[in-house]
C-alpha cells in the first residue's frame, strides 16, 4: 500500500511537471511576437512567415522570423509583446524548448523576466550546431543563470520571455536572419491576486453610486447575509439599484483599490455575487496606466439567492468603442447590476465580494469562418486570402477556397477571443480591399483602415462582398450635408455622432468642408434598410456638451436626447440640414426665413433693430403654445420664453445682447420656424 501511495503521488507530481504551453504560430492564440531592442529595428516586432524549410524536426506551416540587424549590440534581442498568455511556472526538472534554424553555427539564449513576487531574472544559452537544419534547443530551469547571483529559475514563476540569437556577439555588416518555432514553456495553475475582499483596510473600500437618486452616496460594507457555499467570508458589499434607476446606473470605486487591476493578456477578473433574480453584472475598467480606452463587459448570473462567481475575460473586446480587449493595468473599477435595464419600480438589493484577478490558463481558440463574394470584382486574380493582425498580415498564411466555382471564397481561421483587424487580399498582396474609414465594419489605426473582427466564441462572419461590409447588392451610400449658418465651426472639427451607430464626438465620423463652401459633408455606406438616431456636434466633446440643441423642434425626438432620426434607407440617400435647425437643406442663410412654410408661425418687427427690443408677431393660424429661443452666432441659446396660445405678439428685451446676427426660433408641437434678426 505504501508503494502504491508513493506511485500515485509520483504520478500526480509528474502531471504537474508536464503541464506546458506551446506556441506553434499556427493560429493567433498560439503565436508570440517579440519586440526588438538593442538594434536599429527597435521597437518593431518580429514577423510570422511560411516555413521556408519543412523538413527534419519541423514540418509545420508557420514560424517566427528574427532579424539581428547590422551593427546590433551584443545584447540585442526581443521580448514577447504581448507577454505569454500563461505564467511560466519554472518547476524543478522542467525545460524551455525552442526549434531553431540558422545558416551558421551559433547560439540562442532565453531569459525569464517579471518574476512573481519580485526577485532576480534568469538567463541561459545553448549552442546551435546544425547549420541549415532545424534543431530543437532545450533550456533546463535548473541551470544557473548567466547573470546576477547565478541562481537557477527553478521554483519561481515568471511573466515574460526574452529571446537572443548569437548572444554576446555584435551584429555584423549586414542583417542576419534566424527562424524559430514551437516554443514550449512550463506552465501551471492560474495566479490569483485579490483586489477587494472587504476583510481588511488594504483590500476594502467603497463605491459611489451614479445614475439614480442615490447619486453621490456610497455602498455599504455589511456582514455576509448568506455565509455559505463558495463564500463564507465575514464581510461583503451591499449594492442597491433604486426603483427609478437609469439603464446605466452603477457605482465606481471611491477610493480606487490600493492594488491596480492587471488586465493584461491572459487575465480574468472574477467577482462573487449574490442576487435574488436572474440578470447580469457588468464590469468596467477605467484609468488605464498606459492610456488604453475604458473597457466594459457583462456576464449573466445563473443562480438565485446563493453566491456565484462570475468571471470576465479581459481578452474579449469591449462592449463599447473602440471595441478593444483590456490588455492594460487599470486603477478604477465600475460595477453595474442589470446593466441595460432601468429600475423596476422597486429597489433591488444585491451583494458582491472577492474581486480578484486570475492570470494564467491557455487561451481558448475559436473556429472563425469567412465567406467572401468576389463576383463584383472586375480585376484578374488567382488566389484570395484573409490577412490581418492574427497572421502578421501575411499574404499567404490563410487562403480561401472556391471549390464549386460560384465566386464565393470560403475558409476558416482559429482565433482566441479578442479584437482583430484584417482585410481580403489577392495574390500575395498584388491587390487588396480599400476603405475610407466611414464603413460600419472598419477601424482606422494610424493611417490604415481595415475591417474590424470581434471574437467572443465560435464565429461565422456573415457573407460579404469584396470591399463592402455587406452582401453584394445590399449597400447604399448615405451622404450627410450640414450647413452651420451663423454658428462658427469649431477649429477642432464638426462631427456626425450618436444614436449608437455613429461613434462619439471626436470619433470616426468627422465631417469635412473640402470645397470651402461652408457646408460640411460625410458619406457613409450602410445596408439598405438601415435607420438610426443621430446628431451633429460642433467639436470633439465626448460628453456631448457641444451637440446641437433641437429641443422643441419638429425633427427632434425628446425620448432619444432630442436627436434626429434617419428613416430606413431604400437606396443612395442625401440628408441635408443646418446645425441646430430642422431645415431640409444646408443653405442656412438663405433658408433661415423658411419662405416655403405654408403656414408661417411669426413675423419680426423692427428688423434690423437699433433699440434692443425684439418684436415678434404671431399668426393666428397656430393656436398652440409657442416656444421662443434666441441663438447667437456661436450656436448658444441666449434668450428663451414661452408664449400662450392666445398671444398674438410679444416683445423681448434684448438690450443686454451685443450687436450681431441672431437666429429667432419659434416652435410648436407640430412645426418650427427660424428667422434671422440683426441687432445694430
Among 430, 465, 500, the domain-final residue is: 465
- Per the model's pLDDT, the better-predicted residue between 107 and 560 turns out to be 107
CATH assignment of the domain containing 509: 2.60.40.10
Say whether both 235 and 344 belong to one domain: yes
Say whether both 623 and 551 belong to one domain: no
For residue 470, tell me if it sits in a domain. no
Is residue 136 within 8 Å of residue 91, measured between CB atoms? no
- Return d(Cα 277, Cα 267) in angstroms, integer: 28
Say whether both 415 and 386 belong to one domain: yes
Most confident of 376-385, 444-453, 551-560: 376-385
Q: Which of 671, 679, 666 is nearest to 603 (CA)?
A: 666
- Return d(Cα 566, Cα 479) in angstroms, integer: 11
Is residue 297 within 8 Å of residue 282, measured between CB atoms? yes
Among 152, 167, 188, the domain-final residue is: 188
pLDDT class of 599 with cuts at 50, 70, 90: low
- Per the model's pLDDT, the better-predicted residue between 223 and 29 turns out to be 223
- Return d(Cα 554, Cα 551) in angstroms, integer: 9
Give the model's pLDDT for residue 679. 83
pLDDT at 422 over 80: yes
For residue 21, tell me if it sits in a domain. yes
pLDDT class of 85 with cuts at 50, 70, 90: confident
For residue 280, tell me if it sits in a domain. yes
pLDDT at 5 over 50: no
Parent domain of 425: 365-465
Say whether both 297 and 393 belong to one domain: no
Say whether both 62 and 170 belong to one domain: yes
For residue 207, tell me if it sits in a domain. yes
pLDDT at 554 over 60: yes
Say whether both 328 and 249 belong to one domain: yes
Give the model's pLDDT for residue 177. 96
For residue 532, tell me if it sits in a domain. yes
Residues paired with 68 in a beta bridge: 176
Q: Which of 91-100, 170-179, 276-285 has the weakest average pLDDT? A: 91-100
Residue percentage of the chain with pLDDT more than 90: 58
- Per the model's pLDDT, the better-predicted residue between 376 and 366 turns out to be 376
Residue 203: DSSP 8-state: G
Q: Which of 264, 256, 450, 247 is nearest to 342 (CA)?
A: 247
pLDDT at 10 over 80: no
Average pLDDT estimate for 512-536? 93
Determine if residue 287 is left, alpha or beta; phi over 0 gives left, psi from -120 to 50 gives alpha, anything else beta: left
CATH assignment of the domain containing 656: 2.60.40.3080
pLDDT at 670 over 70: no
Burial degree of 388 (CB within 10 A; 0-12, 13-18, 19+): buried
Give the model's pLDDT for residue 282. 96
Q: What is the mean pLDDT of the chain?
A: 87
CATH assignment of the domain containing 122: 2.60.120.430
For residue 5, tell me if it sits in a domain. no
Say whether both 342 and 438 belong to one domain: no
**Residues 415, 421, 424, 429: what is their CA dihedral angle, to the nearest 10 degrees?**
-110
Average pLDDT estimate for 554-563? 88
Give the model's pLDDT for residue 634. 53
pLDDT at 247 over 90: no
Give the model's pLDDT for residue 633. 59
pLDDT at 166 over 50: yes
Give the model's pLDDT for residue 122. 94
Q: What angle do CA 237, 240, 246 make, to 5 degrees?
A: 135
pLDDT at 148 over 90: no
Is residue 142 within 8 Å of residue 92, measured between CB atoms? yes
Give the model's pLDDT for residue 455. 81
- Return d(Cα 395, Cα 549) in angstroms, integer: 49
pLDDT class of 189 with cuts at 50, 70, 90: low
- For residue 12, give the 3-state DSSP assignment: helix
For residue 10, tell me if it sits in a domain. no
Give the model's pLDDT for residue 519. 92
pLDDT at 338 over 90: yes
Say whether both 138 and 250 belong to one domain: no
Say whether both 171 and 199 belong to one domain: no
* Structure confidence by residue, pLDDT tens digits, 604-655: 887 888 788 888 888 765 567 788 888 775 556 778 888 887 888 888 888 8
pLDDT at 597 over 60: no
Give the model's pLDDT for residue 659. 83
Say whether both 200 and 183 belong to one domain: no
CATH assignment of the domain containing 208: 2.60.120.260
Give the model's pLDDT for residue 593. 41
Assigned C-alpha cell, 185: 514553456
pLDDT at 376 over 80: yes
Say whether both 177 and 59 belong to one domain: yes
* Structure confidence by residue, pLDDT tens digits, 250-297: 999 999 999 999 887 668 899 999 999 999 999 999 999 888 889 999
Q: Which of 308, 338, 319, 331 is nearest to 211 (CA)?
A: 338
For residue 6, tell me if it sits in a domain. no
Our count of domains for the chain comes to: 5
- Return d(Cα 490, Cα 473) in angstroms, integer: 38
Is residue 462 within 8 Å of residue 501, measured between CB atoms? no
- Return d(Cα 213, Cα 219) in angstroms, integer: 13
Give the model's pLDDT for residue 128. 95
Average pLDDT estimate for 567-587? 91
- Return d(Cα 545, Cα 677) in angstroms, integer: 26
pLDDT class of 594 with cuts at 50, 70, 90: very low
Give the model's pLDDT for residue 22. 87
* Helix, strand, coil percent values for the chain (each to nearest 5): 5, 45, 50
Among 565, 588, 611, the domain-final residue is: 588
Predicted TM-score (pTM) of the model is: 0.54
Is residue 521 within 8 Å of residue 481, measured between CB atoms? yes
- For residue 415, give the 3-state DSSP assignment: strand
pLDDT class of 667 with cuts at 50, 70, 90: confident
- Return d(Cα 675, Cα 680) in angstroms, integer: 16
Say whether both 369 and 348 belong to one domain: no
Amino acid at each position: 500500500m505504501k508503494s502504491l501511495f508513493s506511485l500515485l503521488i509520483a504520478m500526480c507530481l509528474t502531471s504537474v511537471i508536464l503541464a506546458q504551453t506551446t506556441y506553434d504560430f499556427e493560429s493567433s492564440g498560439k503565436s508570440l511576437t517579440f519586440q526588438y531592442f538593442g538594434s536599429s529595428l527597435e521597437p518593431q516586432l518580429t514577423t510570422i512567415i511560411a516555413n521556408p524549410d519543412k523538413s527534419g524536426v519541423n514540418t509545420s506551416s508557420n514560424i517566427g522570423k528574427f532579424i539581428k540587424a547590422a551593427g546590433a549590440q551584443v545584447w540585442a534581442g526581443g521580448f514577447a509583446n504581448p507577454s505569454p498568455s500563461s505564467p511560466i511556472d519554472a518547476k524543478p526538472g522542467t525545460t524551455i524548448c525552442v526549434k531553431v534554424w540558422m545558416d551558421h553555427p551559433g547560439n540562442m539564449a532565453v531569459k525569464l523576466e517579471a518574476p512573481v513576487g519580485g526577485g532576480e531574472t534568469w538567463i541561459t544559452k545553448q549552442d546551435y550546431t546544425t547549420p541549415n537544419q532545424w534543431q530543437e534547443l532545450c533550456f533546463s530551469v535548473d541551470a544557473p543563470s548567466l547573470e546576477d547571483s547565478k541562481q537557477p529559475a527553478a521554483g519561481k514563476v515568471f511573466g515574460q520571455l526574452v529571446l537572443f540569437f548569437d548572444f554576446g556577439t555584435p551584429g555584423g555588416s549586414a542583417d542576419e536572419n534566424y527562424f524559430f518555432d514551437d516554443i514550449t514553456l512550463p506552465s501551471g495553475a492560474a495566479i490569483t491576486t485579490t483586489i477587494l475582499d472587504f476583510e481588511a483596510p488594504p483590500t476594502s473600500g467603497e463605491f459611489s453610486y451614479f445614475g439614480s437618486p442615490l447619486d453621490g452616496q456610497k455602498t455599504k460594507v455589511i456582514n455576509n447575509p448568506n455565509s455559505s457555499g463558495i463564500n463564507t467570508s465575514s464581510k461583503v458589499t451591499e449594492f442597491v439599484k433604486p426603483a427609478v434607476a437609469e439603464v446605466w446606473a452603477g457605482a465606481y470605486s471611491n477610493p480606487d483599490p490600493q492594488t491596480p487591476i492587471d488586465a493584461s493578456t491572459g487575465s480574468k477578473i472574477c467577482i462573487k455575487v449574490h442576487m435574488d433574480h436572474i440578470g447580469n453584472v457588468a464590469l468596467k475598467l477605467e484609468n488605464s496606466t498606459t492610456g488604453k480606452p475604458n473597457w466594459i463587459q457583462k456576464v449573466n448570473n445563473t443562480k438565485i439567492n446563493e453566491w456565484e462567481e462570475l468571471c470576465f475575460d479581459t481578452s474579449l473586446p469591449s462592449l463599447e468603442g473602440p471595441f478593444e480587449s483590456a490588455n492594460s493595468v487599470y486603477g478604477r473599477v465600475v460595477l453595474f447590476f442589470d446593466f441595460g435595464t432601468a429600475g423596476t419600480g422597486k429597489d433591488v438589493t444585491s451583494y458582491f465580494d472577492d474581486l480578484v484577478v486570475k492570470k494564467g490558463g491557455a487561451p481558448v481558440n475559436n473556429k472563425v469562418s469567412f465567406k467572401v463574394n468576389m463576383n463584383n470584382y472586375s480585376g484578374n486574380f488567382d488566389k484570395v486570402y484573409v490577412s490581418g493582425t492574427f497572421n502578421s498580415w501575411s499574404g499567404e498564411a490563410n487562403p480561401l477556397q472556391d471549390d464549386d466555382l460560384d465566386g464565393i471564397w470560403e475558409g476558416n481561421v482559429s482565433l482566441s477571443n479578442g479584437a482583430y483587424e484584417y482585410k481580403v487580399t489577392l495574390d500575395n498582396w498584388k491587390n487588396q480591399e480599400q476603405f475610407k474609414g466611414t464603413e460600419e465594419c472598419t477601424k482606422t489605426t494610424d493611417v490604415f483602415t481595415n475591417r474590424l473582427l470581434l471574437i467572443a466564441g465560435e464565429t461565422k462572419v456573415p457573407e460579404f462582398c469584396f470591399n463592402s461590409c455587406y452582401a453584394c447588392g445590399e449597400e447604399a451610400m448615405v451622404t450627410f450635408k450640414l450647413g452651420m449658418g451663423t454658428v462658427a465651426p469649431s477649429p477642432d472639427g464638426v462631427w456626425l455622432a450618436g444614436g449608437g451607430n455613429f461613434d462619439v464626438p471626436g470619433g470616426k465620423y468627422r465631417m469635412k468642408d473640402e470645397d470651402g463652401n461652408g457646408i460640411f459633408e460625410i458619406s457613409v455606406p450602410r445596408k439598405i434598410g438601415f435607420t438610426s438616431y443621430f446628431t451633429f456636434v460642433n467639436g470633439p466633446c465626448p460628453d456631448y456638451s457641444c451637440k446641437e440643441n433641437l429641443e422643441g423642434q419638429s425633427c427632434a425626438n425628446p425620448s432619444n436626447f432630442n436627436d434626429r432620426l434617419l428613416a430606413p434607407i431604400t437606396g443612395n440617400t442625401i440628408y441635408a440640414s443646418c446645425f441646430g435647425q430642422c431645415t431640409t437643406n444646408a443653405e442656412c442663410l438663405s433658408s433661415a426665413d423658411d419662405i416655403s412654410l405654408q403656414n408661417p408661425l411669426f413675423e419680426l418687427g423692427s428688423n434690423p433693430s437699433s433699440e434692443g427690443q425684439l418684436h415678434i408677431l404671431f399668426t393666428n393660424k397656430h393656436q398652440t403654445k409657442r416656444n421662443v429661443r434666441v441663438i447667437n452666432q456661436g450656436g448658444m441659446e441666449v434668450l428663451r420664453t414661452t408664449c400662450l396660445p392666445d398671444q398674438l405678439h410679444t416683445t423681448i428685451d434684448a438690450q443686454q445682447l451685443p450687436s450681431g446676427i441672431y437666429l429667432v426660433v419659434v416652435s410648436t408641437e407640430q412645426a418650427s420656424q427660424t428667422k434671422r434678426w440683426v441687432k445694430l
